[in-house]
Structure 1
């Protein structure tokens, strides 16, 4: 039988990971051990491991070797819906922190900037505002462990944010929906457009993506009970580290 190719080895290792033979956080055998097991060169093993790394299944570190990655953080739409409830358990946590906590993943959220700006053309259109209308922009970075998992920008009409924590530079306790609710906004509905795409050069560097990496891009518009758009959210996620879950959607 001819020796296995690197894609076959990658498939075999992936099957072993999926079967639980190599649980998250465990180390795979060394390159030398794998080369001996499959009777191939170490270069073939390296190419197989590169396939797994590009798929987000393993990470590599000089001190630890090749480690099986933890599964993506599953962010459910319900994490946002319940954030508007001031009496919910864990109300000090935002949706990202809640999702991570439920899955035993340490997390943090960094605010990268809060300012008043003219609404970009696409944002103004989504908010139903004249081009250039003043909005409050909030930038954030979300980490799973030490890994940057996603970056976000939100835009809120200036009159909605005025005089509230939404226009202050510190992190919002409980997340943006909690802040909107505390400001008296009655949230009613959200629409999300989700797509996968290749990263920009800036996104690739920021998220530490491999050459063939993919990001998950989300545009969300949130409306109040009058139908007014009160927030536009743009999220770019490392598809290896974030999954979005939509549950109990109506059919028919």
Structure 2
């Protein structure tokens, strides 16, 4: 029995290896529909269960996505270039991210929610405040062509954004400028980037296929004496190309 299981796993891996080679070689291009389980089982001379095990390997690798009705398709993605150097300031009309999307001939949109809450341990550490201290939380769910692309959440100490547009539930261009006008100019920023698998909530909200990693980009903006804002952006790895431009 154990030998049969080992043989099945080995056969599933060989099926995955063959289909992977077809994807990378272009025989199965992005967006192509894979043959049905019946067709693959006949082609490789194995059971449907073994075929499914092989396809599951490709799903975990992020090469294949499942759709309703049991159809499987080669992942097709049109990544955007996200310039992290300039995204801190934005443009006169909308933030730099949205401008980049429009310049690529695609349609950006976002939904915004603003709440007051007690700072979590993590947020408190970023902002150098006590856990539970009240902060203003702004969440932006950004989409491109109607598809979720980024989940960006900002936190500010209440005293920093009180009576400013940043405390209101509406779009605000150049948040750094708003802070400066309120007497809290941003002096420098610190970036922290982690690449990891998404949490279940992130996977659901960003509609992520299994096996899709995310980049977690945290930008902490410092005033004269302490942090005045933190922005945490969750960006699916199959939808973004991160770019920095630095003087040397």
Which band: TM-score by shorter chain? 0.7 to 0.9
- Separation in 2, partners of 1:18, 1:106: 29
Structure 1 residue 56 corresponds to structure 2 residue 62: yes
Residue 237 of structure 1 deviates from its aligned partner by 4.4
**Structure showing greater Rg:** 2
- Cα distance in 2 for partners of 1:23, 1:179 equals 41
Gaps of 5+ in 2: 1-6
Indicate conservation of the 8 Å contact 1:221/1:233, yes or no.
yes
Instruction: Give the match for residue 65 of structure 1.
Output: 71
Per the TM alignment, residue 99 of structure 1 is displaced from its structure 2 partner at its CA by 5.4
Aligned pair 1:39/2:38, yes or no? no
8 Å CA contact 1:187, 1:222 repeated in 2: yes
CA distance in 2, matches of 1:249, 1:115: 35
How far the C-alpha of 1:137 sits from its partner, in A, is 0.7
Distance 2:32 2:51 in 1: 18
Say which SS state the counterpart of residue 26 (structure 2) adopts.
Answer: coil
CA distance in 2, matches of 1:213, 1:8: 22
In the TM superposition, what whole-angstrom CA distance separates every residue of 1:30-81 from its partner, at most 9, and x where no partner exists?
Answer: 3333333333333222222222222222222235822222235553313514
Q: 2:142 aligns to what SS in structure 1?
A: strand
How many residue pairs get aligned? The number is 237
Separation (CA, whole Å) in 2 of partners of 1:149 and 1:50: 24
Distance 1:39 1:24, change over 3 A: same
Deviating more after overlay: 152-161 vs 227-236: 227-236
Match of residue 176 from structure 2: 180
**8 A contact 2:65–2:72 mirrored in 1:** yes
- Give the whole-Å Cα distance in 2 for the aligned partners of 1:75 and 1:199: 19
Residue 28 of structure 2 aligns to a residue in which SS? coil
Flag structure 1 segments of 5+ consecutive residues without an equivalent.
Answer: none
Please report the RMSD computed on the Cα atoms of aligned residues, expressed in angstroms: 3.6
Structure-1 residue corresponding to 2:219: 220
- The 2-side partners of 1:64 and 1:46 are apart by 11
Matches of 1:102 and 1:24 in 2, distance apart? 24
The 1:60/1:36 distance shift into structure 2, 3 A limit, reads same
Aligned twin of 1:135: 135
C-alpha separation in 2, matches of 1:222 and 1:37: 57
Secondary structure at the residue paired with 1:234?
strand
Is 1:247 aligned to 2:244, yes or no?
yes
Q: Corresponding residue for 2:111?
A: 110
Aligned twin of 1:119: 119
Once the two structures are superposed, residues 185-221 of structure 1 have per-residue CA deviations (whole angstroms, 9 ceiling, x without a partner) of 6545332323344554544554556777655434331
2:80 maps to 1:77? no
Distance in 2 (CA, whole Å) between partners of 1:227 and 1:21 is 58
What whole-Å deviation, never above 9, does each CA across 1:120-179 have from its counterpart, x for those lacking one?
33323322335544321112323455554443321012233223221111233x4xxx13
2:4 equivalent in structure 1: none
Q: Secondary structure at the match of 1:159?
A: helix
Taking structure 2 as the reference length, what is the TM-score of the superposition? 0.73
